[in-house]
Chains A and B, each alone.
Chain A
Amino acid sequence: MTIPDFLLAAAVFVLATVALGLVRILRGPEDADRMMATQLFGTGGIAALLLLGVATEARAVLDVALTLALLAAFASVAFVRSASSSEGDDPKETNSP
């Protein structure tokens, strides 16, 4: 087994693992759980992307992974923001007594 083959196999494995996390998206029960699973999708997706990119020597894939990593927090931030604002109270968490 050559290294590219091994990396591809690892990508398949990571993808399958991520797919397992899909169950948490399906089941919830809280939205936070679903968002977490999505975050996991992000990390796993980046890993799979890197494995694929190095295996197939496609350097541009690293830039795709870079973009994903940079924006990984973005959707989650939108989630947290909306979760706190939907409670209706002050989303500010102050340090003062």
Chain B
Amino acid sequence: MSLVLDIFTIVAVSAGAFFFLAGTVGLLRFPDTLTRLHALTKADNLGLGLVVMGLLPQAEWPFDSIKLIAIWLFALLAGATVGQLMARAARREQTTP
């Protein structure tokens, strides 16, 4: 049982790390501010989500596990809000140079 959980952890955390890498590469490769924002809001939050997912079997149930999920939700909320706010600012800058 524990082996299955450990494998789950390894897979999920690796996938999370992969999405972090994807987000960062997007931040570097995408051509302009708005497209780069996509990379930030989507890949990173998925990366964090997968890391949290992977850590769940290793954390103490239920308190630490729910806390982990809460941390992810907060980061998600921050990402979603900040992404929109910055997109507004970037669009305004684009349209009114």
| Also in contact, A80 and B85, with CB within 8 A (given A32-B90, A40-B23) | yes
What is the size, in residues, of chain A's interface with B at 8 Å between Cβ atoms? 44
A residues within 8 A CB of B48? 43, 46-47
Q: How many inter-chain contacts with C-beta < 8 Å in the A-B complex?
A: 141
Question: Complex formed: what's the CA distance from A91 to B90 in Å?
Answer: 13
A37 and B27 in contact, given A32-B90, A54-B59 (Cβ under 8 angstroms) = yes
Q: Establish whether residues A3 and B68, one from each chain, have CB atoms under 8 Å apart when the complex forms.
A: no
Contact A14 B20 (CB under 8 A): yes
Main secondary structure of the interface of B (DSSP, over half): helix
Q: 1/0 contact trace for B57-97 toward A, CB 8 Å?
A: 01110001001101110110111011001101110110010
How many Å lie between the Cα of A42 and that of B89 in the bound state?
A: 20
Considering only CB atoms, which chain A residue lies closest to B74 in the complex?
A69
User: Which residues from chain A contact B60 at a C-beta distance below 8 Å?
Assistant: 59
Q: Which of B9, B23, B71 meets A50, CB within 8 Å?
A: B71
Main secondary structure of the interface of A (DSSP, over half): helix
A82 CA / B64 CA spacing, docked (Å): 37
Q: In the assembled complex, how far is the CB of residue B15 from the closest CB belonging to chain A, in whole angstroms?
A: 11
B40 touches A40 (CB 8 A): yes
A59 lies within 8 A of B71 (CB): no
Of A6, A20, A23, A83, the contact of B89 (CB 8 Å cutoff): A83
Closest to B5 in A: A3
Give, as a whole number of angstroms, the nearest-CB distance from B66 to chain A: 11
A20-B27 Cα distance, complex, nearest whole Å: 9
Looking at the complex, which one of B13, B25, B67, B88 makes contact with A62 (CB distance below 8 Å)? Answer: B67
Contact A66 B89 (CB under 8 A): no
A84 CB contacts on chain B under 8 angstroms: 89, 92
Of all A-B residue pairs in the complex, the 8 with the closest CB atoms, nearest first, are A73-B78, A69-B74, A72-B78, A76-B82, A80-B85, A43-B44, A69-B75, A21-B24
